[in-house]
Structure 1
Amino acid sequence: MNAWRIPGSIAALLIITLLCTTLAALFISAPLPSLSKVLSDPYLHHLLVFSFKQATLSALLATLMAIPVARALHRRHFFGKTLLLRLSSMTLILPVLVAVFGLLTVYGHEGWIASLCRAMNIPYRLSPYGLSGILLAHVFFNLPLATRLLLQAFQSIPSEQWQLADQLGMRGWYLFRFLQWPWLKRQLIPAFALIFMLCFTSFAIVLTLGGGPQATTLELAIFQALTFDYDPGKAALLALIQLLCCVLLVLVTYWLTPQRSHSISYRTRWQPKVEGKVALIIDSFALLFFSLLLLPPLIAVVSAGINSHTLDALKEPALWQAVWLSLRIAVLAGVFSTCVTLMLVWTSREYRLRQQTLAAISIEGSALAILALPSIVLATGAFLLLNSTVGLPRSPMFLVIVVNTLMALPYATKLLESPMRDLASQYARLCLSLDIRGWQRLRHIELPALRHPLLQAFAFSALMSLGDFGVIALFGSQDFQTLPFYLYQQIGAYRSQQAAVTALLLLAICFLFFMLIETLADPHADS
């Protein structure tokens, strides 16, 4: 077996083994319901239809809106651009309770916009609950993600192609069609598929903003089967249906995605020249819309967190113990997730260089398959598996880190696979001629060139773990409290002012952490 096959094969085997064993633990723990009875259930049909409907609409809105926003961010320089990009990167890892609090403060029936409309005698009809509320929250969370992914596609265009287009006088529609679109469409379908699966498996947003049984998804039905009905067999069967749906989507995505390699210069960047008032108006409107969607909910969290109880809340020892535990879990999960992702994309890249596309898809698909299983299913399955075999550990920290590592892999893979593939296309012949292989190639060629994507993948993974509530909801206790769990306890005890302070602190930690990583990754970032 060639050495380059080993890292990705080991990582993929571990991932699939963990997924299969945890799912099997749910099947074994309880008798399965009748498959025909479940499949003929009208309520299940409603769940599937609504899950596909809200996920499709959310993914379409996020990806289509992201095209003009990413294009504007790529070709415009303005004060606060770096800050806006860093804030947008945080929405993916914001704790859902914090973000929903901000969205309701702005868009709720008693929110800022409703109050402004009443003052102007304008009827306010937007409901933050039901399908409209779910779509609003999903676009808030996923538009920045789609923007970052498409912005990466714009930034991947080689400087030589920009220079040639400038010499030919290409502008406007022709520049977009012949230069930008071939690069953009490589990322567009994967971005849509990733956001679709995120929305299809969305749990906390649908739980808080669904507004009733008419707006219930398959993910929420799995949660209800585990908690209210305590029927692990039904939950496993529903999770298997969800897994099949997502795997089918992954296969369709790889079939539709163009798999072309291009030479990329990571050392130089070409700033495209933009002329004309129409382009300026379009870019200004796109950036204004993006800012108005992103900033007000974050401002609402900040304004609510600064109150008369702020200093007293910050003096609580339990708060800082939760902060320390959260940071430890986040850093370890970020390191593990980045290392496992690097193993996967390294082996996948080698398969693609040898035209073994099916093997490459299998390696990459092992990471995306994690999106099909909710974190609560993974955590519950792992709990049942350990309880029936070696016994539960004294501290759930290791289990929380493992599940958070797995849940971050799809995002880290999306951030690393395209840069790794394009870098191989550029340097493969040179490395072959110089006989640079294995660890030496990774150390001297790839790691320096992939510094920014690697640190970005680490930041996303760590911050997702920092804001996670799904796993800690099962294992949290008075002796094991992360910051999201501490916030949940405050909300449950109706300590709203202290909870607002905790939410603000969590937001501030996420922002400072990500800003530090972004600065280390790109110390010459333009402001």
Structure 2
Amino acid sequence: MFYKSFYFVAFILLTLVILPIFGIISKIEFNNFDLYNFIESNYNIQIIYISFFQALLSASICCLIAIPFSIIFYRNKNLKIIKLIISLCGYSFVIPSILIVHSVIGIYGTNGFINNIFNFYEILNFKSLFGLKAIVFAHILLNAPFATRILFQNLNTIPKKYIEIANSLNLKLLSFLIKIELPILKQNLFSTFAIIFILCFLSFAIVMTLGGGPSTSNIEVAIYQAALFELNFNKAIILSFIQMLICLILLLLGFYKLKGSNYFDIQNDFYKYPFNDYKILKYFDCIMIIIYSVFFFSPIIYILYKFINIIDFNEILLKEYFINAFLNSFIISLFTGLLVTISGLFLSILIFNMREKIYSQQILFILSSIIIVVSPIIISLGYFILLGELRYINSIIIIILIIINCLLLIPFSILILFTRIKNIYLNFDDSKKTFNLNEINFIRIIFPLIKNNLLFIYSLSVCISFGDFTIISFFNNDSFQTLPILLYKLIISYKFNEASFVAGFMLMFTLFVYLLFDNITYKEIPDKRI
């Protein structure tokens, strides 16, 4: 029955994606000299170069860091502390980027915690934290743990028989690394690089706050400034097409040879690692795990520390601007989570049921995934233009923010659910036909098998939309703001005490929601029911 909904679903998705594009096109007054003037501008070329260079550098360093640490975690995966570390590594995918900005300034800035102790700015002759180094540093803090979790999951796909063969051949540590672990890591290494490159390439809050000026601006920030402040929509659309082209190329190259299971699904087969008896290796791993945890989770530690040490919570907690910002963020994240979860389930089932109509299936998959390569800035700008004066009505703003967040998060929900749905349907298709079950009754029966995946999608969507800074930057006004916008305003106003409270509150809310469901969905042993 679901396949009959194909045209309706395709129409809805196409409309939601095309509407903002029409909004932008309506403001374009393009002539033959615009492209020439764009190319002739050294500043525009510099923006493209900086965007590419910082994303390339950030993604490369993240992957280089993730390789050795994923191996270390894999060697010690039976330890309970590794489970928590891997969960926190996944949290880096959803942590609000504005929190990273706040913690980088607080820990590593000129008046930061570390510089106050070691005075390394004077020793290294650093004048300021801001600039390219701050952008790359923040991206590493944000994305290296996520890369580590992805590669850790790759290593978890090593079959048990490989370990048994390695033991029978009496392979040494270096031989085991070269012949077994590195080939497995290589399978998805470029896919991991591509994902992180795109995330850094589309970075907005980090670049806008830590960039330090126009010289380190990226395409995302340049589009925002061209459209909202310069009202130069021709420049904005040229930059957006360049951005989409680069992201599309990386996406296609990165996922062409994608192997392995779900990025967000951790599975452990319990068997003894061949070299766990090496005491030197144990001590080395222990030291490296401590260094990794202290460095990469320093933003979480810092924000919680500052939050706990705030003397008067009520002074900020009961202020009207904080309550209103929290309620707006909560409502947006709550409904976004529900809609993304339901839409992801419906679309995954619909895409699978279209398997006999391959072209229709591909069209639906492309429509639901194309948003990955479209900048959130472009989608937000399009709706901002279309709404006109309606963009100042708070209820309309909330609805639009929910719609845009859903568009951006639905591809991830399909990524998480589709393989699971496909395996369940293929395994239980005979039973479904035998008992003549319709789709609704069948979903009720298989719900226990997909419940954890749905809960994880819900938590992922809630955390990401709760901490969104990019989309809301177009729609905030004097009467409407969310917690990320409030935090940004407090940071640039140097109200660090209030900023620490808002950052701590955001961290505790998103961390609780994420860890609650991530620990539920963390699989010690693969599900044998499918």
The aligned counterpart of 2:397 is 396
CA spacing shift, 1:81–1:261, aligned 2, 3 Å: closer
Q: Which residues of 2 match residues 150-161 of structure 1 at below 5 A?
A: 150-157=151-158
Q: Structure 1: any 5+ residue segments left out of the alignment? A: none
The aligned counterpart of 1:300 is 302
Q: Which residues of 2 match residues 412-451 of structure 1 at below 5 A?
A: 412-416=413-417, 423=423, 428=426, 431-432=429-430, 435=433, 439=439, 444-445=445-446, 447-451=447-451
State the AA in 2 paired with 1:138: H
Are residue 92 (structure 1) and residue 78 (structure 2) matched? no
CA spacing shift, 1:267–1:40, aligned 2, 3 Å: closer
Q: Conserved in 1, the CA contact under 8 Å of 2:351 and 2:364?
A: yes
State the AA in 2 paired with 1:205: I
The aligned counterpart of 1:280 is 282
Q: Distance in 2 between matches of 1:109 and 1:444?
A: 58
The aligned counterpart of 1:129 is 130
Q: CA deviation at 1:64?
A: 2.7
Paired residues, number: 514
CA spacing shift, 1:90–1:267, aligned 2, 3 Å: closer
Kindly provide the CA deviation profile for residues 110-153 of structure 1, in whole angstroms up to 9, marking residues without a partner as x: 32332333399954659632222111111111112222222333
CA spacing shift, 1:366–1:290, aligned 2, 3 Å: farther
Q: Conserved in 2, the CA contact under 8 Å of 1:345 and 1:364?
A: no
Q: Conserved in 2, the CA contact under 8 Å of 1:15 and 1:366?
A: yes
Kindly provide the CA deviation profile for residues 311-332 of structure 1, in whole angstroms up to 9, marking residues without a partner as x: 3212324423432332221122
Q: Distance in 1 between matches of 2:2 and 2:189?
A: 29
The aligned counterpart of 1:202 is 203
Q: CA deviation at 1:283?
A: 3.3
Q: CA deviation at 1:398?
A: 0.9
The aligned counterpart of 1:104 is 105
Q: Conserved in 2, the CA contact under 8 Å of 1:383 and 1:392?
A: no
CA spacing shift, 1:116–1:348, aligned 2, 3 Å: farther
Q: Conserved in 2, the CA contact under 8 Å of 1:117 and 1:123?
A: no
After alignment, is 214-223 or 477-486 more displaced? 477-486
Q: Which residues of 2 match residues 56-75 of structure 1 at below 5 A?
A: 56-75=56-75
Are residue 47 (structure 1) and residue 47 (structure 2) matched? yes
Q: CA deviation at 1:18?
A: 2.3
Are residue 145 (structure 1) and residue 146 (structure 2) matched? yes
The aligned counterpart of 2:509 is 509
Q: Conserved in 2, the CA contact under 8 Å of 1:7 and 1:343?
A: no
Q: Distance in 2 between matches of 1:118 and 1:387?
A: 51
Q: Distance in 2 between matches of 1:135 and 1:95?
A: 17
Give the one of 325, 336, 339 matched to 1:322: 325
Q: Distance in 2 between matches of 1:60 and 1:91?
A: 17
Are residue 32 (structure 1) and residue 30 (structure 2) matched? yes
State the AA in 2 paired with 1:331: L
State the AA in 2 paired with 1:397: I
After alignment, is 436-445 or 220-229 more displaced? 436-445
Q: Distance in 1 between matches of 2:51 and 2:63?
A: 18
CA spacing shift, 1:177–1:502, aligned 2, 3 Å: same
CA spacing shift, 1:348–1:167, aligned 2, 3 Å: farther
Q: Distance in 2 between matches of 1:171 and 1:428?
A: 41
The aligned counterpart of 1:228 is 229
Q: Distance in 2 between matches of 1:72 and 1:294?
A: 15
Q: CA deviation at 1:268?
A: 7.2
CA spacing shift, 1:261–1:13, aligned 2, 3 Å: farther
Q: CA deviation at 1:367?
A: 4.8
The aligned counterpart of 1:334 is 337
Q: CA deviation at 1:216?
A: 1.9
* RMSD (Å), alpha carbons: 3.8
Q: Distance in 1 between matches of 2:311 and 2:390?
A: 50
**Percent identity (aligned):** 26
Q: Which residues of 2 match residues 179-190 of structure 1 at below 5 A?
A: 179-181=180-182, 183-190=184-191
SS in 2 for 1:29: coil
State the AA in 2 paired with 1:75: R
State the AA in 2 paired with 1:24: F
Are residue 455 (structure 1) and residue 458 (structure 2) matched? no
Q: Conserved in 2, the CA contact under 8 Å of 1:419 and 1:450?
A: yes
Q: Structure 2: any 5+ residue segments left out of the alignment? A: 526-530
The aligned counterpart of 1:496 is 496
Please give the TM-score of this superposition, normalised by the length of structure 2. Answer: 0.83
Are residue 238 (structure 1) and residue 236 (structure 2) matched? no
